[in-house]
Structures are given as structure tokens and as C-alpha cells.
Amino acid sequence: MFYSNDHEPIHVHVVKGGAEARFQILPEVMPLDNRGLKPSEMKLAESIVEENKDIIIARWNEYFKK
């Protein structure tokens, strides 16, 4: 997800319970920070973000009118 007041660069927040991580999308998907996700959860989240990279970019641009 991203927040309505988010800022560039394009990134997403991955939330599970009380844990949250952020992933940069461009120029490549990579974690920016992690507050509580287990290593296996981070690996899974990163692969899902990578798989959906084009959709994330399109939705970001659509929402923020880029």
C-alpha cells in the first residue's frame, strides 16, 4: 500500500499485524526499512513487490496524477 500523503521516490509499505516495511520500486525493488517483519516475510514481500512492480508504478502515477 501507499499513503495518500506519500512522497517520491515511488515506494510501497508492506504491513502485517503491527510490523511494517517499505520497499523502493525504482530503479530496482529493494527494502528501505523494516520494522518487525521476519526475514522470510521480507523475502516473500520483496518477491511480491517485484512481481507487481509495473502495477504499483501505474497505480502510483494514477493516484498522484503523474
* pLDDT value at residue 66: 77
Q: What is the DSSP letter of 66?
A: -
Over residues 27-49, the pLDDT tens digits come to 999 999 999 999 999 999 999 99
Listed residue (16, 52, 14) closest to 33, CA to CA: 14
Listed residue (26, 3, 28, 4) closest to 14, CA to CA: 3
**Quick one: pLDDT band at residue 56, thresholds 50, 70, 90?**
very high
Rounded to whole angstroms, the Cα distance separating 2 from 31 reads: 15
Rounded to whole angstroms, the Cα distance separating 66 from 30 reads: 22
